[in-house]
Structure formats: C-alpha cells, structure tokens
Amino acid sequence: MREDDRLGPEPSDSELVRRGRSGDDAALSTLVHRHHAAAYRVALSLTRDDDAAQDVVQDAFLKAFRALDSFRGDAAFRTWLLTITANEARGSLRKSGRRRETALEDAGPVRSEDVDPAEAAVRSQESARAREMMEQLPEKQRMSVSLRIDEGLSFKEIGQIIESSEGAARVNYFHGIRRLRELLR
Amino acid sequence: MNDALCEVVREGIPDVVSGRSSGEGAASVEGHLVTCEECRAEFELARTLFASRPRVPARLAARVVSAVQRDRTTRASPWWGLSAAAVAALALGIGISSDSPAMRDSEVPNYAYEVEEGALWLSDDGLLAGAPSFDALSDEALAELLDELAVGTSPGGSL
C-alpha cells in the first residue's frame, strides 16, 4: 500500500480496478470486502438459498476479476458485478432446476441498541413478515424493491441488472411497494 | 396530498431510510411525511424492509478472497494447469484398464486373431493352438515321434 493511500480517503472502485489489473491482490481483496454483501443479497433474492447464494457470489467475483481487462468502466464496478451476480444466480437456478425457500431466520432484522426491547420484538416480527411477503412478489418486482431499498441503486442501474429499461425498473419498484403494502394490511 | 411532490418524495424515501441521503434532501422528505399519510406509510414500509436486510454470512468475504487468490495463482502458472491435465489424463487411463467391464464386453477386433499360418496347430480337441516346440525333445524322443507320424501317414498304415 502506498503512503498516500493510507493517509488519504478510501480509494474509489475505479482506482481499485486499475490496481487489480496490474496484479494488486490487495486491491481485489478490498473490492470483495466492499461489495460481497450486496452481491450476496442479490444472489439470495434470486436463488432463495443460502448455500447457492454463497457459491454464486464466489463465482461472480471470479468471473468479474478474470474479465477485469474487458471492464470498460461505462457502468460502476458495483453495477457490473451485480449484473454478473444476477446472471450467475439465474444460471444456478437453471442448473438446479428448482427454487428452495429461504429460511426466515436468514432474513433476520438488524439489531439496534437504541430501541426498547419490547418495541424491537414488534419490529422484528414486522420485519420478518415484510420479508416473507416480499418472497411473494414476482422476480422483477422483488429485485427492484431489494436493489432500490437494500442497495440504494438508481433505477437505471436496477434496469441493467434485471434486464429491463430504466422506466420498467421504476414501474416494477412501485408496483412491488404497492403490492407489499396490500399484503401487509 | 400533492401527486407531483409525493412522486419525488417516494423516489427519495429509500435513500433517507438507509441514511444515504441527509441534510436538506432528508429534511424535505421528513417534512412532507408529517402531512402526507400515504407517503408516511411507504416510508414505514421502506424502513422496515431496510432494517430486515438479510444477514450476510460472516465468513463469506474471506472465502471469496481465498478463492480469488487460488484462482490467480493457478492462472499465473500455466505449468500447474498442464500438470493437472496430465494427472486427469492418467486417472482416465487407469479407469479404462483391460479388466474393466467396458473392455470385457467390447468386441475383439479382427487383427487380434491374426497369426502366422505356419504357427497354427490343430489339437485333438479341435482347438487351434500354437505349434509345439521340438527343441526340448531329446534325439531319441524325437525319433520316436517321427516314427509314429510316419506310421500314421503311410499307405500301409492302420489309419
């Protein structure tokens, strides 16, 4: 690691990609630590299986890093990686030919120290139910809601990942949200 | 309820609940929520969903980093790849040994029966065998054998 990297702000993805191309393993490791959680959630949203999702994430990173020279930087590295992840997940589903249900405990709420225990228990139930209802959404609506809320992606980025236009991604998101509200009433 | 404003607010809600949007943008959304029940309900849903994001396995990053390092080491050493291919070929060869069911059940090719004509010998049981070697016989035993053959083939013989 160079002196200015230790003192300055965290390197951008573009910078890490450039270093990775030059054979810097530490740069690739940083990219993994930065994006593996989002990749896992995308993979889990499609495969609905923890083991399969972890395999998908590993394969997606291997594919992305092998093809790093062909990454032109038109899209953000994260969007490119998540697109590869979604494709890997779809391939995994085709291979297995089945979809297993994700255990509810895998979708547990994030704990907060500031919340009253009784209130936290109620919120935990609400969260579990919301995720359970999300499983009932069609794939593109579920992916759009997850990518927008969990990962904060723009509709343009979501469109690339779900293989739709930006407008279709927006429509899928709002339809998904409306459907969830109906299901949770 | 102002449709145009609601649309803008609803697009920004995910960024507010996740903390990605702060300052004026967040304050504007939160101000709208006080007066708009529909947007407030959507905000609560988004907050609930964000709070219940699936937990990521603790060892996943380490597993991926390890796999990436192995992959790069393998790809940087072509001889390692060749060695792996050679081992695979050897294993395949051992798998197809002569006593395997595949070999036992296979048709024996014609060339396997090709024997030089003079080396064939018809035994008493009618089976073909290799011609006997006379080298090991003593002169006396050989003479006796030739006598027997001569008797068997002479015009005045018993045969």
At B130 the pLDDT is 54
- A183 in contact with B at a CB cutoff of 8 Å? no
- For residue A102, which residues of chain B lie inside 8 Å, CB to CB? 54
pLDDT in tens, A106-159: 444 444 445 567 766 776 788 888 888 999 999 999 999 999 999 999 999 999
- For residue A143, which residues of chain B lie inside 8 Å, CB to CB? none
**DSSP reduced 3-state for A177:** helix
Query: How far is the CA of A86 from the CAs of A89, A118, A140, A141, in angstroms?
Result: 5, 38, 11, 14
HSE of B17, CA atoms in CB hemisphere, 13 A = 27
Interface of A with B in 58-117 (CB under 8 A): 58, 61-62, 65-66, 102, 106-110, 112
In a mutagenesis test of the A interface, which of B17, B56, B63 is the best target, namely the one with the most A β-carbons within 10 Å? B56
- A152 in contact with B at a CB cutoff of 8 Å? yes
* pLDDT at residue A103 greater than cutoff 60: no
Q: Locate the domains of chain B by residue range.
A: 3-51
- For residue B10, which residues of chain A lie inside 8 Å, CB to CB? 174
Q: Is the ipTM of this complex over 0.90?
A: no
**Domains of chain A by start residue, with CATH:** 9-101 (1.10.1740.10), 117-185 (1.10.10.10)
pLDDT one digit per residue (tens) for chain B, 159 residues: 678 889 999 999 999 999 888 788 888 889 999 999 999 999 999 999 999 999 999 999 999 999 999 999 888 766 555 555 566 666 665 554 545 555 555 555 554 445 455 555 555 555 555 555 666 677 777 777 777 766 555 454 444
3-state secondary structure chain B: CCHHHHHHHHHHHHHHHCCCCCCHHHHHHHHHHHHCHHHHHHHHHHHHHHHCCCCCCCCHHHHHHHHHHHHHHHHHCHHHHHHHHHHHHHHHHHHCCCCCHHHHHCCCCHHHHCCCHHHEEECCCCCEEECCCCCCCCHHHHHHHHHHHHHHHCCCCCC
The confidence band for A13, taking pLDDT boundaries of 50, 70 and 90, is very high
| Better pLDDT: B140 or A180 | A180
- For residue B67, which residues of chain A lie inside 8 Å, CB to CB? 58, 61-62
The tokens describing A133, both together, are 């209802």
Answer whether A41 sits within 8 Å of B55, measured CB to CB: no
Answer whether B64 sits within 8 Å of A152, measured CB to CB: no
pLDDT in tens, A62-71: 999 999 998 8
Nearby residues of A165 by Cβ (< 8 Å), 6 or more positions away:
A159
At A97 the pLDDT is 73
DSSP character for A116? -
The confidence band for A54, taking pLDDT boundaries of 50, 70 and 90, is very high
